Amino acid sequence: MARKQVLVIDVEATCWRGKPPPGEQRELIEIGLCAFDTERGQPAEKRSILIKPQCSTISEFCTELTSITPEMAASGVLFNEACTLLRRDYDSQNVIWTSWGKDDRRMFEKQCASFRVTYPFGPQQHIDLRRLFAQLQRTDPRVKLRQVGLKTALEMMDLQYEGTAHRGVDDAYNTARLLAAMYERYGSEIIKA
């Protein structure tokens, strides 16, 4: 029998120091994911799905922030193919997925609508882990619902960030590590897969 899992996802998108150049828009360039084994309460497989931008270019600022170069993204897949990979390889339309905040979900929704691509997740299956963390930590005066960052949350759970910040695959893995610490401290019933 296959283990039950939650998909922990973090996306990276094209970005600039200011507004996008004329004719360009923010779009996904990486889907970082880490499958989280809900039976063991541990991160499992992690993966980076690089995406070729179709409506923008990767700026120097974007590369400085994410470490993703134009050449790396050029070797990726198109957005619709990335969504197909999520459905085929991770059964994304039938499992719960989580991200640190709502921005990742909103970015998927916006890009799916803009590119006329079927949304790869099921309805009502997203959990905002930042919000859940804040609810569980509500007695800690350092936690304000929308202000706690991933690195701070990890430190509060006695964990150090591993990898490159603002790299989707590393952010997803660290979010899954945080979820494992939350499972250990608060129990597996915090998320029902």
Classify residue 193: in a domain, yes or no.
no
Residues sharing a CB contact under 8 Å with residue 73, sequence separation 6 or more, in sequence order? 29, 30, 50, 51, 52, 53, 58
The domain tally of the chain equals 1
pTM for the full predicted model: 0.93
* Structural domain range at position 113: 5-187
The per-residue pLDDT string of the chain (193 residues; one tens digit each, 9 = 90 and over) reads 245 899 999 999 999 999 999 999 999 999 999 999 999 999 999 999 999 999 999 999 999 999 999 999 999 999 999 999 999 999 999 999 999 999 999 999 999 999 999 999 998 799 999 999 988 887 666 666 557 899 999 999 999 999 999 999 999 999 999 999 999 999 999 987 5
- Supply the DSSP symbol for 54: S
CATH number at residue 40: 3.30.420.10
Classify residue 192: in a domain, yes or no.
no
| CA dihedral over 32, 36, 41, 42, signed as positive or negative | negative
